[in-house]
Structure 1
Amino acid sequence: MRAVRTTVIVNPSAASGRAGRLEGQIREDLESAGISYVWAPTEGPRHATELARRAVEDQVDTILTVGGDGTLNEVIHGYLDETGRPRRGPALCVLPVGTGGDFRKTFDWEDGVAAGLERLRRGRKRPLDLGLVELTRLDGSLERRAFVNILSFGVGGVTDQLVNAGPKWIGGKAAFFLGALRATFAYRPVPVEVLVDGDAWLTSPILNVALANGRFFGGGMHIAPEADPSDGWLDLVAITDRNAVQSLGLAPYLYRGTHMNQAGVHGRRGRRVEARPTRPDAEVLIDLDGEMPGKLPLTAELAPGAIDLLV
């Protein structure tokens, strides 16, 4: 078998240090499979992007990412050029270890090292779309970012703030559920205007609006049951104004993915989305793959088939 040059980007702190503790097992399995690799641990925020960019420039065959959805998001930024557009790069293999673990649920991947390394060994590729967005940072400046799973705005951004500031040892689903519960009572719906492919789609106070490439977010909420991250479309799901009690009543439907026919839930598909609050002084926070990078206004679009994903 031809030696495969793989850069292993691992976040040792993911899942309260579990990713780092898997180093011995991953190295042993890679060496047993005869896979040539470079071990590249992250040392701080956005270091995974730097490591991925270096791997793209070195033209390695594969990037294997070991960490959570936040680590994966950092890695996909390494595939972007200086203008924020995707460039061709190595195949991407994901070994999910983290707080949320939502990206893997779309593909129904088994948990554990063996399953992730089997995808690497097998080498079967599937095109992966990327979301590209220009958003507003909290200081008012503009920033170009990318998302591989889901971008949302509304209560999702508040949830990110609470989850990322809280303990991770209680586990992904519990951490996100408790964060969402606290956010639901703290959040006050803000009127927003959303355009899809240039057409007015929504003008309403919102609980949350999701731009979905994948199907799950928030520690297991099945927000976009029909989303396919290789079909060239974003699935939009909007949940309009409702009080905290009504929001909690919707939660079981969200986790089961049976919410699309509930009152106040709206869906459509598109490739370009513009969103802004209707009040200039209103602050609507953004959730981008489980992180809170800023607020509305934003402009997002899809880059079809930007990365080859190993499945």
Structure 2
Amino acid sequence: MAGELVVVVNPAARGGRGVRVLAPVLARLREGGREVSVIVGASADDALARARTAVAAGPAALVAFGGDGLVHLAVQAVAGTEVPLGIIPAGTGNDIADALGIPRRDPLLSADAVLGGRTRVIDAARISPQGRWFAGVLACGFDSRVNERANHKRWPPGMSKYIVAMAEELRTFEPIPFKITLDDRVIEREAMLVAVANTRSYGAGMRVCPDASPDDGLLDVLILAAMPKTALLRSFPSVYRGTHTGHPAVTIVRSRKVTLDAPDTIAYADGERVGPAPITCAVEPGALRVLVP
């Protein structure tokens, strides 16, 4: 299995549209006689179990064909091993791929990076007590509550449900009393949200921590202090440009280890639900090997 590429697939990526390009991607990966196998799990747990079994056999790479959620799943299998992670973006946001310079809109170019790119060693963060890893951004606060609402909706489809969920959350949301432990200091304040970033963006291009580097051995922590909801809405578009960092309510610090404690708040990492606060994130330098152009 040493030369094999193992591709784990999310058939629901982009509402099922992403799988349309799977066949040409697999054909590209198989050029030159390369052996390629495909994992499509019956569930996320099943896909992860299959991915871990494949990684234990020592393939040339585990390749995630999907969005950030599938990359998150693949990271659980390869973090801390010598097996590199390939990423072929086929989701809506693809923020992790974008941060690593992997083409986010051209799956065939991404496949070329898997075949002929270089291996970049980057950090990942370990979440406790859950024992999960994340490669991108962990969110806790207003944005994660919106995610909670959206994930319980069957309608409307796609990104529209997040817009509806945000409007609903705004009606009742109040600033959250956070206790944030950063290495050797503690910050206690009311905040709208706290984001812990290994890479710069989440949520399909929101550059929450625009200077975050995935290989500096540190996590960037954004704290958005309590502010009127109208001010939150006015300043929201600036996060897509990364210019929100100059807002007086925004604080960004760096830390190797971060503990977030906040009542009635669920954390999401790489867009996936990872559990209620209190939650601790600790950076693990060099935990991931990723194939990049």
TM-score scaled by length of structure 2: 0.91
Q: Is contact 1:156–1:285 with CA below 8 Å preserved after alignment?
A: no
SS of the aligned residue for 1:46 comes to helix
SS of the aligned residue for 2:274 comes to coil
Q: Is contact 2:87–2:102 with CA below 8 Å preserved after alignment?
A: no
Instruction: State whether structure 2 residue 76 is matched by structure 1 residue 77.
Output: yes
* Identical positions, percent: 26
Q: Which residue of 2 aligns with 1:206?
A: 191
Deviation per residue, 1:137-176 (Å, 9 max, x gap): xxxxxx221111001210121121233344698655x655
Q: Is contact 1:130–1:148 with CA below 8 Å preserved after alignment?
A: yes
Residue 68 (structure 1) shift: 1.2
Instruction: State whether structure 2 residue 91 is matched by structure 1 residue 103.
Output: no
Deviation per residue, 1:113-133 (Å, 9 max, x gap): 211111111130111211111
Which amino acid letter does the alignment assign opposite residue 298 of structure 1?
A: I
Structure 2 runs not aligned, ≥5 long: none
Q: Is contact 1:156–1:286 with CA below 8 Å preserved after alignment?
A: no
What are the equivalent positions in structure 2 for 1:36-47 lying under 5 Å apart?
A: 36-47=35-46
Rounded to whole Å, the distance in 2 between the matches of 1:298 and 1:145 is 11
Give the 3 Å change call, closer, same or farther, for CA 248–33 of structure 1 in structure 2: farther
Q: Which residue of 2 aligns with 1:161?
A: 148
Bigger Cα displacement from structure 2, 153-162 vs 58-67: 153-162
Rounded to whole Å, the distance in 2 between the matches of 1:204 and 1:286 is 18
SS of the aligned residue for 1:191 comes to strand
Q: Select which of 260, 275, 282 maps to 2:245.
A: 260
Residue 22 (structure 1) shift: 2.3
Residue 179 (structure 1) shift: 4.1
SS of the aligned residue for 1:274 comes to strand
Which amino acid letter does the alignment assign opposite residue 302 of structure 1?
A: V
Q: Which residue of 2 aligns with 1:93?
A: 86
Give the 3 Å change call, closer, same or farther, for CA 169–71 of structure 1 in structure 2: farther
Instruction: State whether structure 2 residue 1 is matched by structure 1 residue 7.
Output: no
Rounded to whole Å, the distance in 2 between the matches of 1:105 and 1:87 is 22
Rounded to whole Å, the distance in 2 between the matches of 1:235 and 1:103 is 15
Instruction: State whether structure 2 residue 217 is matched by structure 1 residue 194.
Output: no
SS of the aligned residue for 2:86 comes to strand
Residue 178 (structure 1) shift: 5.0
Give the 3 Å change call, closer, same or farther, for CA 148–175 of structure 1 in structure 2: farther
Q: Is contact 1:205–1:241 with CA below 8 Å preserved after alignment?
A: yes
Q: Which residue of 2 aligns with 1:223?
A: 208
Instruction: State whether structure 2 residue 31 is matched by structure 1 residue 32.
Output: yes
Rounded to whole Å, the distance in 2 between the matches of 1:168 and 1:290 is 19
Structure 1 runs not aligned, ≥5 long: 80-85, 136-142
SS of the aligned residue for 2:64 comes to strand
Q: Is contact 1:48–1:75 with CA below 8 Å preserved after alignment?
A: no
Deviation per residue, 1:215-244 (Å, 9 max, x gap): 111222110110111111101111011122
Residue 93 (structure 1) shift: 0.6
Q: Which residue of 1 aligns with 2:279?
A: 298
Q: Is contact 2:39–2:51 with CA below 8 Å preserved after alignment?
A: no
Q: Which residue of 2 aligns with 1:117?
A: 111
Rounded to whole Å, the distance in 1 between the matches of 2:183 and 2:242 is 25
SS of the aligned residue for 1:299 comes to strand
Residue 181 (structure 1) shift: 4.4
SS of the aligned residue for 2:110 comes to helix
